[in-house]
Structure formats: C-alpha cells, structure tokens
Structure 1
Amino acid sequence: MEKRIINPWQWQDERSYVQAVEVTNVRGTLYVSGQAAVLPNGQSSTADMKTQLLQAIQNLEQVISEAGYEHRNIVRLTVYTTSTAELWPHFPILGEWIAKHGIKQALTFMEVKSLFETLTVELEATVVK
C-alpha cells in the first residue's frame, strides 16, 4: 500500500488532519462502524464527554487491531458529537492519539442532534493495508 498526502495549505497541520489522502496498491480496506463509549457488555456509557471519548478511542483501537490492521493506516476519520462545545476542550486527546500512531487522515468533524441512547461522541474510520 502506498499513501500520498495532499495538503495545498499548512494550517491543517496544527489540527491533526490532512486535506486528502490518496491510497494505491491496497491489499485490503476496513470500514469501521462508528465506535462510541459502549462497554463490553453492550451498555451505553452515561459518563462525561472526556470519558466517552477515551472509551470510543479504545473501542476503535480494538476493532482495528482485531481485524489485523494498523492504526497508522487510518485514512479517513469522522467524528460525530452531540456537543461541539463539550467535546472541543477534550479534542487534544484525539490529536495526541493521532500523533502517537503517526496517522495522516482526512477528517470530518460534525455536531449531530443525537447519538444512540446516552452516547455523546462517536468515531468512524476507514483503514487500509
């Protein structure tokens, strides 16, 4: 697999994403459903935004690892939240996780009216080999 990053500008570098990712010679593509703070027993978290973000990241990592893919090969990440204002102070957690794994991904960040049950943040990813 070969990746090419397209960044006509540099301002996005401080925001933990890239403008576009071209991927060629792919051996596999993993489309990961939105991962949120759902506990191993299937119960949706009622915790605060920071705790839910950390659980969502952990769940995303687990799915990617169990599928045999590498976190650094996430090429698209979509972040859904019920409150941008509540999530934004904790967004550096996601940025640090992205930097830790050397991820260079196209990113979409959006506020939605609601998520399933008591969930407040959800991460959806596309990963390649």
Structure 2
Amino acid sequence: MEKRIINPWQWQDSRSYVQAVEVKQVKGTLYCSGQAAVHADGQSSTDDMKTQLILAMQNLEQIISEAGYECKNIVRLNVYTTSTAELWPCFDIFQNWIAKHGIKQALTLMEVKSLFETLKVELEATVVK
C-alpha cells in the first residue's frame, strides 16, 4: 500500500489531521461502524465525555486489530459528538492517540443532536492495508 498526504496549508497540523490522503495499491479496505463508549456487555456508558472518548478509542482499536489492520493506516476518521464544548477539553487525549499511532487521516468533526442512548462521542474510521 502506498499513501500520499496532501496538505496545501500547514494550519491543520496542530489539529492532528490532514486535508487529503491518496492511497494506491491497497490490499484491503476496512470500513468501521461508528465506535462509541459501549461496554463489552452491550451497555452504553453514562460516564463523562473524557471517559467515553477513551472507551470509544479503545473499541475502535480493538475492531481494527481483530480485523488484522493497524491504526496507523486509518485514512478517514469521522467524529460525531453531542457537544463540541464538552469534547474540546478532552481533545488532547484524542490528539495523543493520533500521535501514538502515527495516524495521518482526513477528518470530519460534527456536532449532532443526539447519539444512541447515553452516548456522547462516536468514531467512524476507514482503514487500509
């Protein structure tokens, strides 16, 4: 697999994403459903945004790993949240996770009216091999 990052500007670098990712010679593509703070028993978390974000990232990592892919090859990541105001103070946790895995992904962040049950944040990814 061959990846090329397209960044006509530099301002996005401090926000932990890229403007576009071109991928060639892909051996496989994994489309992940939105991963949120749902425990292994199927119970939705009622915890705060920070705790939910951490669990959502862990769940996404588990899906990617069990499928035989690597987080570093996430090329598209959509973040849905019920409150950007609650998410921003936790954004460094997200950025550290991105840096830890060396991810260079196109990113969309959207505030939505609601998510399933008590969920506050959901991560939807496309990963290549």
TM-score tier by shorter-chain length is over 0.9
Distance (whole Å) between structure 2 residues aligned to residue 105 and residue 87 of structure 1: 19
**Paired position in structure 2 for 1:12:** 12
Letter in 2 for 1:76: R
The runs of at least 4 aligned residues of structure 1 exceeding 3 Å deviation read: none
Q: Structure 2 matches for 1:1-129, cutoff 5 A?
A: 1-129=1-129
1:79-111 alpha-carbon deviations (Å, 9 max, x no partner): 000000001100110100000110000000010
The offset of 1:62, in angstroms, is 0.2
Distance (whole Å) between structure 2 residues aligned to residue 94 and residue 84 of structure 1: 13
**What TM-score comes out, normalization by structure 1 length?**
1.00
The offset of 1:49, in angstroms, is 0.4
Distance (whole Å) between structure 2 residues aligned to residue 102 and residue 54 of structure 1: 17
Q: Percent identity?
A: 82
- Structure 1 gap segments, 5+ residues each: none
Q: Which SS does the other structure have where 1:123 is aligned? A: strand
Q: Which SS does the other structure have where 2:103 is aligned? A: coil
Distance (whole Å) between structure 1 residues aligned to residue 97 and residue 50 of structure 2: 14
- Structure 2 gap segments, 5+ residues each: none
Letter in 2 for 1:43: Q
Task: Give the root-mean-square deviation of aligned CA atoms.
Answer: 0.3
